[in-house]
Structure formats: structure tokens, C-alpha cells
Amino acid sequence: MASFTGRVFGPGLAGTGEVAQAQWQHGQLRLQTPSLSLDMGVNPHITGGGFNAEQLRVSWQAPEGEFVFFVDAGAAQAAFVADLPPQWRAQLAGAQRSQSRVRARWRWGIAALVLCLSVPLAALVALVVRSDAVAAWVVQWVPPAYEAKLGDLVLVQTQAQMRLIDSGPAVEALRQMGEKLVPHSPYRYRWLLADHPDVNAFAAPGGVVVVFSGLLMAADTPEEVAAVLAHEVAHAELRHGLQGVVKSLGLQAGAVLLGDATGVAVPGLLSHLLERQFSREAETAADAEGLRRLVAARIDPANMVVFMKKLAAKEKGVELPQWLSTHPAPEDRAARLQAQVSTLPGPWQPLAIDWAAVQRSLPRQP
């Protein structure tokens, strides 16, 4: 029989009670304290006891007076209950019912307290959440399942505000190369193709990736698009977008993450994602992570550099697409990536995509 401890009060014991080592022996509970050993009587009374009723209170009458033994919650209570003789089980059940009633009262009390505290606390959070460090800290507590709600919201807004191409070779190609880049992701990715001439793509929190048809038009090979996707997916996997949303929307983002994601809650979410600017650190991290994902998918990472250089040359003097225009300067990024790429061994596997057919299928021709 397992032995366990509790605190016992009664005649001949210290006024503050004594720690007792207890053990069931032949249906009898024997207690040993530093000053005496005693047996629980034949007529114990078992109730919930202690602060919050989490303890069991076992009392019995002895010739010298009443003894009360408190069994702590957890292992001690489990050991007490495991070997409790059947004749006292009904008493135990009553005690456990009263314990759970008290626990329920506590939960309600705490809920009411939280409610009272949450209003000023929410105001405080609203003030501090708009800093990078705090946003990063907040984001680490957001489970991917909540983040997916933001993704759903972006999906709804994208469908409402952009003309989407929902089938055909281009959509298939996008999904095919995208899925190669997100093995073992906690997110369920949705690959959307918007009919829009901008050379642009973005990954929203929660795995919604939107690619503009202009990007497919500007690329000469599917690998160049895969390189852009790898960079955008890296932003999503590193949760940069979520940090940005938390930072700029503050509590509104909290409302979406914790409550109902209705389209009304965050009307500006899509435009926020389109206008966002990541920090230099975030861009460098996304380049490195994107590169890693390309290499893991055996897609030649040199395409990242190729496409970046091509756009930098083409767009000189013209406003660069958002994903490229953020600092550091494209030339610097291309040079840094080039240095990293040149150290990577192949061989690389070309994507099995008929790129000419993909481009022909788009509503806007180059």
C-alpha cells in the first residue's frame, strides 16, 4: 500500500497540527506523526476541506477527543482514495461532489474577476502592443489554429476585392510549386491567383498566398516564381505578417484571433497586407529561409537572384513592386544571395511545368 502525507490535528498534537505519514493497512488508516502514532477510528467523517475545498478532511472521534486529518490534493488524495474501504465510498463521493461545487464557484468568481480586470488591461495592451518587441512577444502565444482565422478573413476579402482565376494550368502550376515549399507546415496553404497586372505576391498569416498574374507574366521560368513564393512563404512561416497585423491592428487582431472572424471585424486587413513593409531584419530572414526552402525542394536557388536582378534592371526609375521595394536595396540583396547561392551544391530538379502553356492560359498576355 502506498504511503502518503497529510496534516493531522487533535489531542496530544501540536496546536498547528503535525505532518503525518499515512498508510492503509488491512482497511485501517494508520498515521505516524513525529510525536505519536494513531489509527483512524471506525466511524470517520469525510468531507471536502481546506482553502478552495481541494483537500479531503477526514475526522473521527477517539476517546481522548476529535482528530482531523487533511489529505492534500494530488498524489496523496489519489493514494487515500485508491485503498479506501468500500463502506466509506459513499461518503467520499459526497465529499467529491462538494469539492467540485466549490471549484465551480471559484471558477465563476475568477471569471468575474477577469472580466473586471480585462477592460483596463485591454486598454493597456492597446497602448503597448504597437511596438515590434511586444508584437513579437504576443505572436509567440498565438496558436496556428487562431492564425488560420486571420487567413480565412484574408481569403474572404481577397475573393470579394480581387478578380480571382480559380482554375486552369496557372492555378495548377502555382499549387504544384507552392506545395513543394511547405512540407511539415503547421498551416493549411491556399494558393490564390489574382487577375492583376502588378508583379506582386504576398503570403497572409495562416497560409493564404495570393499571387498576381502579372508576376507569372514577368517570370521566364516557373523556378523564378517558385523563388518569389519561397520568400513569401518564409514570411508566413516566420510569422512576420502576423506580427505586422498584431502591431498595426492591436486589439482588433486580438478580437479576430480569439473570437469570431467576421469580415466586418477587420475591413482593412487585405489593404494592410498589400501595403505592409517589413523590417530589414525580417527581409533578410525571409531571404535566408526562402533559400533554405528552395534547396530543400531541390529547386535551383539561383532563380531567386535571377528574378531579383531582372526586376531591379527592368524597374529602374519605376516604382518597384512592394515585395522587392522594401529595403535593403534589391542590388544588395541580390549580391548577398548570390554569394550564398554560389556555395550551394546541386543537382537541382527542374519543375515539370509547361511554362508557355501557363502564360498562354492567363487572361492578360505579355
Size of residue set near Zn ion by CB under 5 A: 2
Kindly tell me which of 53 and 286 has the beta carbon lying closer to Zn ion. 286
Kindly tell me which of 152 and 283 has the beta carbon lying closer to Zn ion. 283
Shortest Å distance, C-beta 288 to Zn ion: 11
Paired with 48 in beta bridges are 56
Which 258-297 positions form the footprint of Zn ion (CB under 5 A)?
283, 286
Which 196-235 positions form the footprint of Zn ion (CB under 5 A)?
none
Shortest Å distance, C-beta 339 to Zn ion: 19
Kindly tell me which of 286 and 311 has the beta carbon lying closer to Zn ion. 286
Between CA 265 and CA 161 the distance in angstroms is: 16
Task: Tell which residue, 22, 12, 106, has the closest CA to residue 71.
Answer: 22
User: Which helix (H) or strand (E) covers residue 69, if one does?
Assistant: strand 65-71
Kindly tell me which of 192 and 353 has the beta carbon lying closer to Zn ion. 192
Kindly tell me which of 47 and 284 has the beta carbon lying closer to Zn ion. 284
**Interaction pattern, residues 32-61, with Zn ion; x per rule: CB under 5 A:** ------------------------------
Shortest Å distance, C-beta 104 to Zn ion: 50
Kindly tell me which of 22 and 304 has the beta carbon lying closer to Zn ion. 304
Place of cell 474572404: 156
Kindly tell me which of 257 and 286 has the beta carbon lying closer to Zn ion. 286
Please give the single-letter amino acid code of residue 347: P
Q: 236 Cβ partners below 8 Å, 6+ apart? A: 187, 203, 204, 205, 206, 207, 209
Between CA 236 and CA 278 the distance in angstroms is: 12
Shortest Å distance, C-beta 307 to Zn ion: 13
Place of cell 494558393: 191
Between CA 295 and CA 308 the distance in angstroms is: 17
Shortest Å distance, C-beta 256 to Zn ion: 23
Shortest Å distance, C-beta 235 to Zn ion: 5
Between CA 177 and CA 194 the distance in angstroms is: 17
Secondary structure (3-state) at 49: strand
DSSP assignments along 2-43, one per residue: -EEEEEEE-TTS-TT-EEEEEEEETTEEEEE-SS-EEE--SS
DSSP assignments along 320-334, one per residue: PPHHHHSSSPHHHHH
Between CA 152 and CA 155 the distance in angstroms is: 5
Secondary structure (3-state) at 71: strand
Kindly tell me which of 71 and 304 has the beta carbon lying closer to Zn ion. 304
Shortest Å distance, C-beta 321 to Zn ion: 11
Copy the grid coordinates of residue 130: 504597437
Residues in the site for Zn ion, rule: CB under 5 A? 283, 286
